[in-house]
Structure 1
Amino acid sequence: MEHICLIDSMPIMTADARRLRRASAAREIADKGCDAVKERQYFGLILAVRRNRRLPPPDYIGITLASAADINVLKDIADDLHDTSVSADKAYLSKELKQFSEEQNIVLNTPVKKTKDSSST
């Protein structure tokens, strides 16, 4: 595989959990989501970016609903990534994403998730 790219996403919070019911910014394009890193709910969007080996500009920048599942974000980003090695964070670890990656002949490189048992050793 000669194609290598990096995929990542981050939340764009327009309101935090305390203000979910009163959130009014970008209501027509935003919704409720969960920030896995900070372990909290928010109202907003997800910014997704894909970059190939070439620097500096990314070749894809997209915004999705905060509630979008990682597989949907990956499908949007990976539309033309057949026969590619993709590096992504732990958010992209799931059986469904693994199956999608195999179907598209994408090698998905992610860190190994710690299990409760392995974190205590």
Structure 2
Amino acid sequence: MIIQTKALKLIKIYSTICDKFEKDLKYSCERFSNNTKQDLTDQEIMTIYLFSVAEEQRFTVKQIHQFACDYLLSWFPNLGSYAGFSNRLNRLSEAFRNLTASLLEDYFPKDCYVNQSLLDSMPIIVCSGKRKEKVATDITDKGYCSTKSLYYYGVKLHALAFRRNNKIPFPEEIQIAPASVNDLTVFKEAWANKENRCFFGDKIYVNKDFFGDLENEKNSIMMTPIKGVKGECQENKNRDKAANDLFSTAVSRVRQPIESFFNWLIQKTDIQRASKVRSTKGLLVHLFGKIAATYINLTF
């Protein structure tokens, strides 16, 4: 049994999932076989996952299934075995992806600066770089995280988020790329068509030629901390140091909330650690299911 306040949240999550399932999610996991009607529905599986992550901080599939067995069996009597639950959950990877996009679209805050975007990425670690990669090799590879001084196998979670005043930014789009892919490459492929936008990023986005063309063609600019020029004489460095430091501090202060956004995700869902994942679909459920769990409370 669970307390009444959490029971009401469980009902609300289930109601939201059912509404969105009938609208479009069902097309992401439609079955064309004689076994289309299951005792435990896809809506119930998604509800169990989202509720367990959002309200109970159960982050692995085994923990989620065990919690459901202990406390939610009266709500979901056809829960079944852990193996069956895990297999059914992985089949819903695309439904979780579409649910995340739907939640971000439906509950867009009114206080966003729609002409100002913050950019950053976060490593999702499947295993250490010292080990051999065996899981989700079609979307993961080896990368290096400079902030952690760590080589790892996994993916990067890239976020383009609208700036908000004194609040965590709200993600406009989220992209997944192999760990070795450069952040600037992702920007060029996914977000270089944004018009009339002021982007705030870190030094990895420094590329005067590309962003000069972007400003001329799309009226969009990239603001980054000043990056030193290799081979520049010391006199020029000293002359421009004060102005460059002030500008870099101002840009860093504006883009700092995107780091808080990632820290918030980690704290709420432990999304950065994906060592328990055993398949590509499982990794996608881990990513988009955790993000959906953090934003499902917007429905309350």
Higher Cα Rg, which structure: 2
Stretches of structure 2 lacking an aligned partner (at least 5 in a row): 1-113, 242-300
Alpha-carbon distance in structure 2 between the residues aligned to 1:96 and 1:12: 31
1:57-100 Cα deviation digits (max 9, x unpaired): 41101101111122221124424411211011222223455345
Query: Contact between 2:128 and 2:151, CA under 8 Å: does it hold in 1?
Result: yes
Question: What does 1:41-60 align with in structure 2 at a 5 Å threshold?
Answer: 41-53=151-163, 57-60=170-173
Equivalent in the alignment of 1:106: 220
Secondary structure of the 2:184 match is helix
Decide whether aligned partners of structure 1 residues 67 and 95 sit closer, same or farther in structure 2, where only a CA change above 3 A counts: farther
Matched, 1:4 2:116: yes
Q: Identify, as 1 or 2, the structure richer in strand.
A: 1
Aligned residue-pair number: 116
Alpha-carbon distance in structure 1 between the residues aligned to 2:222 and 2:210: 9
Identity of aligned residues (%): 33
Equivalent of residue 181 in structure 2, options 53, 68, 72: 68
Letter in 2 for 1:112: I
Decide whether aligned partners of structure 1 residues 61 and 70 sit closer, same or farther in structure 2, where only a CA change above 3 A counts: same
Query: Contact between 1:50 and 1:77, CA under 8 Å: does it hold in 2?
Result: no
Matched, 1:25 2:139: no
Query: Contact between 1:71 and 1:97, CA under 8 Å: does it hold in 2?
Result: no
Letter in 1 for 2:152: Y
Stretches of structure 1 lacking an aligned partner (at least 5 in a row): none
Query: Contact between 2:162 and 2:171, CA under 8 Å: does it hold in 1?
Result: yes
Following superposition, the deviation at residue 3 of structure 1 comes to 1.1
CA RMSD of aligned residues (A): 2.8
